[in-house]
Amino acid sequence: MSWTSEQARALTDRILSFSKAPECEVSLAMAETGHTRFAANDITTAGVARTASAVITSREAGKSGLVQTDEIDDSSLRDAVARSEALMAAAQIDPEQVESLGPQDYPTIPGFDEPTAVAGPLRRRNGVKAALDRARGRGLNASGFFENSAIWSAIANKKGNFGFYRATSADYSTTMRTDDGTGSGFTYFSSPRLADIDAPALAERSATKAETSAKPRELPPGAYTVILEPAAVADLLAFLTFSLSAREADEGRSFLSKPGGGNRLGEKLFADSVTLRSNPFDPRIPGRPWVAGGMGFGFGGAGAGGLPARKTNWIENGVVRTLEVDRFWAGKTKVAPVPLSGGLIMEGSNKSLDDLIAETERALLVTRFWYIRYVNPVNVTVTGLTRDGVWLVEKGKIVHPVTNFRFNDSPINLLKNLEGTSAPVRTGNYFLPMIAPAIRAHDFHFTSKSDAV
């Protein structure tokens, strides 16, 4: 199962030929995904899923209609195009709708690995076995997921724009719990190449975290210096990234809004060592050649959808250098659009996590956060829970595990209060891959104890 660029173009041309609307856009996706799931120290499911879909958007005079179908025979596609036109006719006028893009020059981004695309359950078996063997041998309960996938995607419209790309990914996660349920360890790693996944090392890390986080002691909530592992850093940086919008800042709806009007572009708002950029060409986290829509994630929207991917420095040495500008806002404010494309990269140092711990007088070491939700989108205050291991650090050493907390804080404050970083590593999740370091920062606010494990 696969598509070539020629096959994808032939299919988009056929769909567009069915269209009677002045503007029509097509997004195609085909995927083949194999998985092995395990729980309670045994494999529970393994299988492969093959999917194909077409998203068709018809537009005219500010109205639009969108239909998605997973049937790509001519009859079904004709029907989908007709339904999108019927929805368009019934829709209200969107005053912010932008016209379809003309032909774009999309970059070539190598993100496809043939061994990952063809890997089957036997290739994933050893990775699963690494977790199960450790759990069974050490009295732990293991669960997790090992997945590899290949995707083929294309976009096209009536103005002659066309783009095609293919990519692969492999994802491995495992959670281990102690028998008494008081200790938990979690690891996750994703890469375009299955060969990059060191399952034994990831499983060992989960097992060790489960054992060392068991029987935690209570500490009072309050403001603590924290050492956040890369996964926890990525959890919070995602919310900061979604706030780098020029429109929100210009309209007074953002921490980047300037009193009296305008935005704070060019101002120093964070610690000197904070540099955040996106680079879809980084082989560790390659992006797609075009922006999918909005802030660069998902489909649709009148934002930056269809614009070519590009490198961007968002924050440099604590200074806000660039803001995301969608096509509508770019036209209104007479500036060039700036899409957010590809995963995020936060610069770090050459130190290790152990180095950060060793030079710390007192702090809480946090594995990751969970169930994060906005409290105040304007200043990016969020709330959530710690999970899968929190430890007290004193005089450069891990002293003992502590119970989990709920926190209320903002990644803005976190990056203002930054004291140190480690070397950055691959982290994040399926929706927002990231390269991030562990960080140490002071005055992070934990508001109450949590019963989470």
Q: Which are the contacts of 33, defined by CB distance < 8 A and separation ≥ 6?
A: 48, 49, 50, 51, 147, 148, 149, 150
pLDDT beyond 60 at 304:
no
Confidence (pLDDT) at 452: 82
In this predicted structure, what is the pLDDT of residue 341?
Answer: 85
pLDDT digits (tens, 9 = 90+) for 89-109: 999 999 999 999 999 999 999
Segment among 70-74, 243-247, 430-434 with least mean pLDDT: 430-434
The kind and range of the H/E element at 235 are helix 230-241
- Residue 311 pLDDT > 80: yes
87 pLDDT above the threshold of 70: yes
Tokens 């440099």 found at = 316
Q: What was the pLDDT predicted at 446?
A: 98
Cα–Cα dist 258/320, whole Å: 13
Task: Give yes or no for residue 354 having a pLDDT over 70.
Answer: yes
- Of 382, 383, 386, 355, which Cα lies nearest the Cα of 368? 386
pLDDT at 356: 97
- Average pLDDT of the residues in 404-412: 98
CB atoms near residue 386 (< 10 Å) = 24
pLDDT, tens digit, 9 for 90 and up, residues 238-275 = 999 989 999 999 999 999 999 988 899 999 999 999 99
Per-residue CA distances from 317 to 338, 356, 389 (Å): 20, 20, 31
Characterize 262-297 residue by residue with b for buried, 16 or more Cβ atoms within 10 angstroms of its Cβ, and e for exposed: ebbeeeeebbebbbbbbbbbbebbbbbbbbbbbbbb
8 Å CB contact between 387 and 453: yes
pLDDT of 68 > 60? The answer is yes
Is residue 153 scored above 80 in pLDDT?
yes
Is pLDDT above 90 for 169?
Answer: yes
Predicted confidence band of residue 430 (pLDDT cuts 50, 70, 90): low
How far does CA 52 lie from the centroid of its chain?
A: 23
Give the pLDDT confidence of 213-240 residue by residue, as tens digits: 999 999 999 999 999 999 999 999 999 9
Proportion of the chain above pLDDT 70, given as a percent? 97
Q: How many residues does the chain have?
A: 453
- Side-chain half-sphere exposure of 326, counting CA atoms within 13 A: 25
Q: Residues 17, 19, 22, CA angle at the centre, nearest 5°?
A: 115
45 by Cβ neighbours in 10 Å (0-12 / 13-18 / 19+) ranks as exposed
Question: Do the Cβ atoms of 167 and 112 come closer than 8 Å?
Answer: yes
List beta partners, residue 187.
174
Give the whole-number percent of the chain exceeding pLDDT 90. Answer: 92
Residue 338 has pLDDT above 50, yes or no: yes
The pLDDT of residue 81 is above 60: yes
295 has pLDDT over 70: no
Q: What are phi and psi of 164, to 5 degrees?
A: -140, 140
268 DSSP assignment: B
- pTM for this structure? 0.93
pLDDT at 135: 98
Instruction: Give one DSSP letter per residue of 176-216, joined into a string.
Output: EEETTS--EEEEEEEES-GGG--HHHHHHHHHHHHHHTSSP
Question: What does pLDDT average to over the chain?
Answer: 94
Q: At what angle do helices 74-90 and 5-17 cross, to 10 degrees?
A: 50
| CATH 3.30.70.360 for the 5-210 domain, yes or no | no
Ranges for all domains in the chain classified under CATH 3.30.2290.10: 5-210
Dist. CA 291–CA 296, nearest whole Å: 5
pLDDT score for 428: 81
How many Cα atoms sit within 13 Å of 244 on the Cβ side? 30
Residue of 411 and 260 predicted with greater confidence: 411
Instruction: Identify the pLDDT of residue 453.
Output: 85
**Is residue 299 scored above 50 in pLDDT?**
no
